[in-house]
């Protein structure tokens, strides 16, 4: 399972990249705003910086919601670097644009996916990645991981190549469960990713090893 970092924060991207645990980055307009990145040119420059830092796929989201606008923005984003994946919302014109991009060699990430029906449509249109938002589904009292399970089964039934990119991850358990269910990718905040490190028995065992090693020093 690939690990993408879900942020536009360059320091966090550098930290995760230096450890060697990320295969890509996803961003969205909210994450860009959180970093204070505004203005078309600044947004593009920020994407270029991320692409220069990380070898893997970088999802850059369009703002337009009409077909022509999505295509125009998507083509501009895709021209920034070979590892850009154009992130397109799951709306009618978005699906049409994904189909257009797919036919023209531009890779896509279909975002804001909350149902298996939407997952089928995105795959039919030729999306490279599909982003079901599991945390936001959980927030409403529904079962986000249940949706991942359903999409994994459906895609397996038909040998669909669209990669399931579990998004809106809230904690380390989400990551482990996605791996159990067979998601192709998880995208998560650094905190959730680093949470995978933690186990009290590791801390206890290390403290014991270090104490014992101290006693053997001559």
Active site residues: 87
For 65-80, letters b (16+ CB in 10 Å) and e give eebeebbebbeebbeb
Choose among 57, 62, 65: nearest CA to 76: 62
| 54 is a site residue for ligand E4P (CB under 6 A) | no
CA torsion, ordered 32, 178, 161, 72, to nearest 10 deg: -10
| 26 is a site residue for ligand E4P (CB under 6 A) | yes
Choose among 11, 8, 10, 13: nearest CA to 193: 13
| 122 is a site residue for ligand E4P (CB under 6 A) | no
- Residue 91, classified by CB atoms within 10 Å of its CB into exposed (0-12), middle (13-18) or buried (19+), is middle
Q: Which residue among 108, 118, 162, 187 contacts ligand E4P (CB under 6 A)?
A: 187
What is the token pair recorded at 126? 């030729």
Contact 28, 61 (CB under 8 A): yes
Q: Taking the complex as a whole, how short is the minimal distance between the CB of residue 168 and ligand E4P, in angstroms? A: 3
Q: What is the CA radius of gyration of the chain?
A: 19
Q: Taking the complex as a whole, how short is the minimal distance between the CB of residue 188 and ligand E4P, in angstroms? A: 7
| 57 is a site residue for ligand E4P (CB under 6 A) | no
Q: Taking the complex as a whole, how short is the minimal distance between the CB of residue 202 and ligand E4P, in angstroms? A: 28
| 73 is a site residue for ligand E4P (CB under 6 A) | no
| 167 is a site residue for ligand E4P (CB under 6 A) | yes
Q: Which residue among 136, 172, 182, 196 contacts ligand E4P (CB under 6 A)?
A: 136
Closest to ligand E4P by CB, 128 or 168: 168
Contacts with ligand E4P, residue ranges (CB under 6 A):
6, 26, 28, 111, 131, 133, 135-136, 167-168, 187
């Amino acid at each position: 399972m690939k690990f993408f970092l879900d942020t536009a924060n360059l320091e966090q991207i550098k930290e995760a990249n230096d450890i060697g645990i990320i295969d890509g980055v996803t961003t969205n307009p909210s994450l860009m705003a959180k970093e204070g990145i505004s203005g078309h040119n600044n947004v593009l420059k920020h994407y270029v910086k991320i692409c220069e830092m990380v070898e893997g796929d970088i999802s850059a989201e369009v703002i337009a919601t009409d077909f022509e606008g999505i295509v125009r923005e998507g083509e501009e984003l895709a021209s920034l670097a070979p590892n850009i994946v154009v992130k397109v919302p799951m709306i009618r014109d978005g699906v049409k644009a994904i189909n257009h991009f797919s036919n023209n060699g531009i890779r896509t990430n279909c975002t804001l996916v909350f149902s298996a029906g939407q997952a089928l449509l995105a795959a039919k249109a030729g999306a490279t990645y599909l982003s079901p938002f599991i945390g936001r589904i959980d927030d409403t009292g529904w079962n986000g991981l249940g949706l991942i399970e359903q999409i994994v089964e459906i895609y397996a039934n038909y040998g669909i190549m669209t990669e399931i990119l579990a998004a809106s991850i809230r904690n380390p358990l989400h990551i482990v469960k996605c791996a159990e269910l067979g998601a192709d990718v998880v995208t998560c905040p650094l905190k959730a990713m680093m949470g995978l490190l933690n186990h009290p028995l590791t801390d206890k065992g290390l403290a014991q090893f270090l104490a014992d090693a101290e006693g053997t020093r001559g």
